[in-house]
């Protein structure tokens, strides 16, 4: 294990830039362009106005009265499911697409698992007139068919990735290979807080609007901060987006990983070891030879063997705690929210809901915010097909 | 610098030819066939590059990716690769090609010591760029291993100078922005970048990615010291051809270079 610490883009020992030389100049240029954009009020205004008028921000902080009663506490839902395209992914897709355009890029490649990031990227590219190619695992194309059709309708080319595990990991591999082959005109629009620096930081920043809004909203409603904030963690972008605003507060941060069917899972923070995947040091599901293991989750957006380097650092420092919820428990939470609140959550977000129920059982009466990162319409065809509804 | 790598390039230069660096994937198409190919290839190679298969390579094209999948199905590991290399007959120096996570999984220090013990001369780690390489370079130096520096057509002049300033053994010049795999020809800017790199480099410069035909070697030989042949060789092995049949004409091209055509005028080759 390397002992290098505290350079740019490092969270403890995690992060870094482990990419082929062909891409290094791109990362350096991206880092500089992002730093310049952050200082430019015109860029910030353009993004803010697009978030308001195109995405529909701010999103509500909804008090889930019947769910709270059923669980025995006070549960607020941060309604990212109400954003345009139906998940928090659009916050980052729009930010990066605007940045790419500013950098003179004409072509965007993206990976997608559940398809939510792919749809968000396709929408942002359509709006800004950028060419869009989305890599998606063959298995995910099957289990998230409505999103494939939405991406195509939005003008994106969807490329199914049929090698290996046919899921998110393979889609990232293919997107990176595409980027290596056309580094001048292409921007790789990563959908989570993963990948080489500056992506984990940049994606967190674009998503941190979630936490900033939620913190203000909860103070207005409750007159105080919540006891805990809960979010699901695949790569971990919705979790970093809401955690960031509460990191300096006396508020518990709970991340929820996918426990899959028990035998196979996607919970690197709970059962992985540090290693390098897709350009960054992070907790990773790997064997003793450093080969990446296969994962399983009912939620394609969580079906990934790695996790953002910042989460890896938060785990080691103890500032955030990470838990595991399996397929069945997530599915039960999915149904419960639908029936009690009239909100169909994404299977990914259902993992966070399931953990909220568990936490309130242990500590009745506390106030929590669950990041409801996306809507569940995309999951219905597959769940019906499998007789799970 | 690793003594055997230095010796291999000096020998090629003294004979007035370019070095040939064939790439084989450990465990491909089977562990036995790999050991066999290793022997066969030794007759044509100045340095042999041996890939250790990784589940998620980022810089490899379809041909080498597939070879890695095949090798992994045969349960090829770093340990089995080093065992095969340790038991081979004396021959050209070997450099490993693998992902940084495979090195970290073993531990940098242990990796360096195990590789050196198996007679390996160095390693190419494509996803370990210059900025992240300090620890690995230091541990390699303690064991006399070379960490092979990589340059790409996208590398800026300032980076090129910094990277070549630390280069050991030889420098690996990626011929195109892209993944490994055979290609038709080379752009003018590729030639220009190779020329600039050689000017700056204190170690031999070798061109890889897309070298499959004698014409490729002819067109670049004025500017490079060696050529890496990967996908073309792996594909030939997949198609059941003899490794020697692929390497013979490339080896001949390395002898008939622009440099030595003048040197050997009149001499029979």
Q: What is the pLDDT along chain A (389 residues), one digit of tens a residue?
A: 333 334 678 999 999 999 999 999 999 999 999 999 999 999 999 999 999 999 999 999 999 999 999 999 999 999 999 999 999 999 999 999 999 999 999 999 999 998 999 999 999 999 999 999 999 999 999 988 899 999 999 999 999 999 888 989 999 999 999 999 898 999 999 999 999 999 999 999 999 999 999 999 999 999 999 999 999 999 999 999 999 999 999 999 999 999 999 889 999 999 999 999 999 999 999 999 999 999 999 999 999 999 999 999 999 999 999 999 999 999 999 999 999 999 999 999 999 999 999 999 999 999 999 999 999 999 998 899 889 88
- A169 in contact with B, Cβ within 8 Å: yes
CB contact under 8 A, A25 and B55: no
Tell whether the model's pLDDT for residue B261 goes beyond 70.
no
Is B259 a catalytic site residue? no
Distance CA A386, CA B117 (A): 54
Distance from CA of B7 to the nearest CA of A (A): 27
Is A271 a catalytic site residue? no
Is A111 a catalytic site residue? yes
> Which chain B residues are Cβ-neighbours of A164 within 8 angstroms?
55, 69
Tell whether the model's pLDDT for residue B259 goes beyond 70.
no
Nearest to B58 among A2, A20, A25 (CB): A20
Find where tokens 């508020």 sit. Answer: A251
CB contact under 8 A, A173 and B58: yes
ipTM of the complex model: 0.94
pLDDT at B258: 52
* Structural domains of chain B, ranges and CATH numbers in brackets: 3-268 (3.20.20.70)
Structure tokens at A73: 């506490």
**Over residues B42-69, mean pLDDT:** 94
Render the burial of A130-146: b for 16+ CB within 10 Å, e for the rest: bebbbbbbbbbbebbee
- B69 in contact with A, Cβ within 8 Å: yes
Distance CA A282, CA A272 (A): 9
Please give the model's pTM, rounded to 2 decimal places.
0.95
Half-sphere exposure of B32 toward its Cβ, with a 13 Å CA cutoff?
0
Instruction: Show the DSSP H helices in A103-135 as ranges.
Output: 116-128
CB contact under 8 A, B154 and A26: yes
pLDDT at A238: 98
Write the pLDDT tens digit of every residue in B113-124: 999 999 999 999
Of the pLDDT bands very low, low, confident and very high (cuts 50, 70, 90), residue B182 is low
**Over residues B150-168, mean pLDDT:** 95
- B188 in contact with A, Cβ within 8 Å: no
Reference A268, options A236, A221, A240; nearest CA is A236
pLDDT at B267: 36
Tell whether the model's pLDDT for residue B2 goes beyond 80.
no
Tell whether the model's pLDDT for residue B85 goes beyond 70.
yes
Nearest residue in chain B measured CA to CA from A275? B101
Residue pair A61/A213 in contact by the 8 Å Cβ criterion: yes
User: If you ran DSSP here, which 8-state letter would residue A145 be given?
Assistant: H
- A21 in contact with B, Cβ within 8 Å: yes
Residue pair A118/A300 in contact by the 8 Å Cβ criterion: no
Catalytic residue among A89, A169, A315, A378: A89
Distance from CA of A181 to the nearest CA of B (A): 4
Please classify residue A21 by burial: count the beta carbons closer than 10 Å to its beta carbon, then call 0-12 exposed, 13-18 middle and 19+ buried: buried
> Which chain B residues are Cβ-neighbours of A290 within 8 angstroms?
54, 99, 101-106
Nearest to B101 among A19, A24, A275 (CB): A275
With left for phi above 0 and alpha for psi between -120 and 50, is residue A187 left, alpha or beta?
beta
């Amino acid at each position: 294990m390397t002992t290098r610490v505290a350079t740019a883009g490092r969270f403890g020992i995690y992060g870094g830039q482990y990419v082929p030389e062909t891409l290094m100049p791109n990362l350096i240029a991206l880092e500089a362009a992002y730093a310049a954009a952050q200082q430019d009020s015109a860029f910030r205004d353009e993004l803010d106005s697009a978030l308001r008028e195109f995405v529909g921000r701010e999103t509500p902080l909804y008090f889930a009265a019947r769910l709270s009663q059923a669980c025995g506490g006070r549960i607020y839902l941060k309604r990212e499911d109400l954003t345009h395209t139906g998940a928090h992914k659009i916050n980052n897709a729009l930010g990066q697409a605007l940045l790419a355009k500013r950098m003179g890029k004409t072509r965007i490649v993206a990976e997608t698992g559940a398809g939510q990031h792919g749809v968000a990227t396709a929408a942002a590219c359509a709006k800004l007139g950028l060419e869009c190619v989305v890599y998606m695992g063959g298995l995910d194309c099957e289990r998230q068919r409505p999103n494939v059709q939405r991406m195509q309708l939005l003008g994106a080319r969807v490329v199914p990735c049929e090698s290996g595990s046919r899921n998110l990991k393979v889609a990232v591999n293919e997107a990176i290979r595409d980027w290596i082959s056309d580094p001048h005109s292409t921007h790789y629009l990563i959908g989570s807080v993963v990948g080489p620096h500056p992506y984990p930081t940049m994606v967190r920043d674009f998503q941190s609007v979630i936490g900033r809004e939620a913190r203000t909203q909860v103070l207005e409603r409750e007159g105080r901060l919540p006891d805990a904030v809960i979010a699901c963690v695949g790569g971990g972008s919705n979790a970093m987006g809401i955690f960031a605003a509460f990191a300096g507060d006396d508020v518990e941060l709970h991340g929820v990983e996918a426990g899959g069917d028990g035998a196979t899972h996607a919970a690197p923070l709970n059962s992985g070891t540090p290693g390098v995947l897709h350009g960054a040091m992070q907790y990773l599901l790997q064997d003793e030879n450093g080969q990446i293991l296969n994962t399983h989750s009912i939620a394609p957006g969580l079906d990934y063997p790695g996790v953002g380097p910042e989460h890896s650092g938060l785990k080691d420092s103890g500032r955030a705690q990470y838990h595991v919820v399996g397929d069945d428990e997530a599915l039960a939470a999915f149904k419960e929210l639908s029936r009690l609140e009239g909100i169909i959550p994404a299977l990914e977000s259902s993992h966070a809901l399931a953990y909220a129920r568990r936490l309130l059982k242990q500590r009745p009466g506390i106030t929590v915010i669950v990041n409801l990162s996306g809507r569940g319409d995309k999951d219905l065809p597959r769940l019906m097909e499998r007789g799970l509804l | 610098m690793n003594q055997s790598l230095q010796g291999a390039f000096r020998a090629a230069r003294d004979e007035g030819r370019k070095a040939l660096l064939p790439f084989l994937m450990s465990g491909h198409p089977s562990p036995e066939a790999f050991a066999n190919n290793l022997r066969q290839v030794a007759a044509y190679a100045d340095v042999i590059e041996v890939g250790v298969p990784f589940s998620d390579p980022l810089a490899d094209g379809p041909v080498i990716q597939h070879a890695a999948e095949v090798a992994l199905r045969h349960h090829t590991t770093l340990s089995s690769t080093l065992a095969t290399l340790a038991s081979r007959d004396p021959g050209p120096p070997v450099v490993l090609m693998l992902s940084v996570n495979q090195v970290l999984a073993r531990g940098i220090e242990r990796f360096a010591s195990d590789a050196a013990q198996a007679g390996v001369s160095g390693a190419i780690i494509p996803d370990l760029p210059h900025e992240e390489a300090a620890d690995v370079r230091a541990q390699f130096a303690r064991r006399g291993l070379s960490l092979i520096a990589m340059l790409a057509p996208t590398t800026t002049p300032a980076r090129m100078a910094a990277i070549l300033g630390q280069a050991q053994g030889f420098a690996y010049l990626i011929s195109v922005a892209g993944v490994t795999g055979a290609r038709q020809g080379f752009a003018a800017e590729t030639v220009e970048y190779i020329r600039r790199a050689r000017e700056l480099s204190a170690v031999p410069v070798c061109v890889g990615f897309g070298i499959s035909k004698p014409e490729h070697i002819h067109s670049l030989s004025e500017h490079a010291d060696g050529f890496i042949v990967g996908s073309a060789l792996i594909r030939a092995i997949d198609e059941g051809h003899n490794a020697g049949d692929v390497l013979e004409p490339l080896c001949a091209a390395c002898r008939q270079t622009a440099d030595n055509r003048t040197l050997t005028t009149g001499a029979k080759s």
